[in-house]
Structure 1
Amino acid sequence: MRIDVLDADTLARVGWVDVWVSLYWDSPYYSEGSFTLEVRPTAENLQLLQEGRWLVRSDESPRIPMRICSRANQNEDSNLVVSGYPATWLLTKRVSAVSIKNQNAEAAMRSLVSAAKPWPRLELGTEYGFDTTFEKQTSGGSIFDYCQTIGQACDLGFRIVLDGKGSKKKLLFECFRPTFDPNRRYSPQWGNLLNSGWSFSDTDYANVALVQGAGEGNERATVWVGDVNATGSDRREMYIDARDIKPDEDKNETSTSQSYLAKLADRGGEKLLAQLRTGSIEFDVDDDTLQVGDVLSASLPQLGYTAMVRVADIITQSEDSGTTRTIRLGTPTWHKT
């Protein structure tokens, strides 16, 4: 592996690094990511590794540039340490106040990038036509914040890739979402799912809430919410005192008004969301071919669970002792088989 160093504006290669003390390289799906490179403080390295320049790995496809954002050298005997972020960092330096709601996720991200003030050689890349709609609402912040919010809500990755050669090099913004490959299946019985651990609990679980609001004694406003038809051991009740919610007298609202009772029901629904059954299953996978965004299927036959999960980050660490590749997974969606 070699790390090419590119000019901040022209993207022309100005040199490369192929010897280092240590390297940490975190490639993300829809989060920030980062890198740290530690080298000897030679005159060549000090001249080459400057803030604003881009680093690109020779073994990576597509090529995701990392921008040098800081560098440090405590004294002449210390190593030079440079660090920074993937090219999506530049989206943190562009802001917007537009409101995004009920829009196609890919189109919304592309429109935000397109409307931002120009950045040298940044353009829109291929539009793939993902049909996911961002149904929530977000407004105000950096373009990166917008994209991260939309991406995480819609399971849609975004990145800026290096494209072209010579004077035609560009930084292209694109969304991506790899589809499931049936060959990407992992289980302890096949030896490619490792270090699995799990925990489950229903101690605080509730699915029905009795909510009381304004009034006194038997005259208090009262509503039941949740799975009110549940019976027997399937019914788990909780009580909620919502006396702090008052009828809106300016709107002639009383403790028996449907609009007021709806507010109590909303409070009950919010509280029930915090009383879900809890559970977690953690594991590692052994597969050097996985890439950021890939979807894999994991199964734990002893528990009767299967899950689909996406690769959220891939972290490469390189030192004198060798190179390791850590796969960081997103939150699995588990199903009973």
Structure 2
Amino acid sequence: MIMDLYVLNSDFKRLDIISYAESVIWTKRYFSVGDFEIVLPASRYLLQLFQSSEERYVMRPGDPVGMIVEKVQLTTDEENGDKIIISGSTYQGFLKRRIVWGQKILKGTLLDCILLGLVVDNAIDDSTIEGRKIEYLAIRPNIVAEWEGDNPDIEKQVTDDLLSDAVTTICTAFGLGWEIYFEGGKLLFNLYKGKDRSYGQNMLPIVLFSPEYGNFLSGTYTFDKTNYKNVAMVAGEGEGASRKMAAVGNASGRSRYEVFVDQSSLSSNDGEISDIDYMIQLRTAGEEKLAEYGTSETYESTVDPEGNYQYGIDYNLGDIVEVENEYGLTSRVRITEVIESEDENGYTCIPKFENVEG
């Protein structure tokens, strides 16, 4: 039997419970916005329910991370029956509705720059520009006080980026996950770090996915350096010989892969930002760009949902675990995405693993 689904109105009040979906795909991501797709038998009632001028959300029992309905599609098929397909993004998608308004200098601790410099300034506090506040959105209480991870000082300039992209860029660079969930009548923005369940620690039970243990049913391993770069020339403000430049990376010979990074949008505000601070911001931009051009080593696998490890109990999104396959490939990896799907053939869970350095 496919999971029940709650349909909510724009005030997050329950309108209906759907227990007759034909298929559900529910995807969460550690660094970025997740998404979903639900296939339903077509009816006038469902079309009116989801096609309302008022926004609709979908949640699962026991899961505070809900989904925003962004697309409703009606398909007609004489042989297989008419279907309504609804899709959209996780609550993280609310941050796709805001940009980083104008130039923003982020300087301070990592958490303060994300929470206050980005999210509060652009989606919660509308004292400067009326109408920018996203209703119900708040920062999870005590997030800084309870933080157990690193919280280094950073310096970065952001101008006009999508707010969701700006948060994703910083979180990816520092290995942080982010989410928005509904609890206590509020949409709570949260930062978190996955737990280390690999051989590299001795505090938690090891989680090992392997055919030998029968929990690794099928999968794809990919090593990709197609777009690899390790040296960046970062160009900031100015023109010609007077343009401000910074170099990041020091590889040489055939091991050197170069890329040009245009950061002309970074401004020193006519000297308001010192040359030293401006060069730090250029180098930060170059480091972030090189991170996008790194080698990629990924595993995508279908794991046995009834095996020795249960998603949500023994491991979670963002956790670091061990994987090995029958060809001797072993890696310490982070779970960066989990696709849960359910249809007439049953439930499947497909984690995506990305290699973790060190």
Q: TM-score, normalising length from structure 2? A: 0.63
Partner of 1:132: 151
Measured in 2, the distance between the counterparts of 1:93 and 1:171 equals 15
Please identify, of 68-77 and 11-20, the stretch whose mean Cα deviation from structure 2 is larger: 68-77
Partner of 2:7: 5
Partner of 1:88: 92
Partner of 2:27: 26
Partner of 2:114: 109
Summarize the Cα distance change of 1:146–1:201 in structure 2 as closer, same or farther, 3 Å threshold: closer
> Is residue 334–residue 356 contact of structure 2 (8 Å, CA) maintained in 1?
no
User: What is the count of residue pairs matched by the alignment?
Assistant: 271
Give unpaired runs (5+ residues) of structure 1.
208-224, 229-234, 241-265
**How far off is 1:300 after superposition?**
7.2
3-state SS of paired residue (1:47): helix
> Is residue 198–residue 279 contact of structure 1 (8 Å, CA) maintained in 2?
no
3-state SS of paired residue (2:102): strand
Partner of 1:149: 169
> Is residue 161–residue 171 contact of structure 1 (8 Å, CA) maintained in 2?
yes
2:289 corresponds to 1:284 = no
Structural mapping, 1:255-334, within 5 Å: 280=297, 282=299, 284=301, 286=303, 287-289=309-311, 290-298=315-323, 306-307=331-332, 309-329=333-353, 331-333=354-356
Amino acid at match of 1:56: M
Measured in 2, the distance between the counterparts of 1:80 and 1:199 equals 35
Amino acid at match of 1:157: G
Summarize the Cα distance change of 1:137–1:47 in structure 2 as closer, same or farther, 3 Å threshold: same
Summarize the Cα distance change of 1:186–1:194 in structure 2 as closer, same or farther, 3 Å threshold: farther
Amino acid at match of 2:177: G
**How far off is 1:91 after superposition?**
0.7
Q: Work out the percentage of aligned pairs sharing the same amino acid.
A: 23
> Is residue 139–residue 146 contact of structure 1 (8 Å, CA) maintained in 2?
no
Partner of 1:254: none
Measured in 2, the distance between the counterparts of 1:7 and 1:142 equals 26
Structural mapping, 1:172-251, within 5 Å: 172-181=188-197, 182-186=204-208, 188=210, 189-193=212-216
**How far off is 1:311 after superposition?**
1.3
3-state SS of paired residue (1:44): helix
2:43 corresponds to 1:42 = yes
Amino acid at match of 1:325: C
Q: TM-score, normalising length from structure 1? A: 0.67
**How far off is 1:139 after superposition?**
3.2
Structure having the higher Rg = 1
Amino acid at match of 2:44: A
3-state SS of paired residue (1:92): helix
Aligned with residue 56 of structure 1, among 42, 46, 59: 59
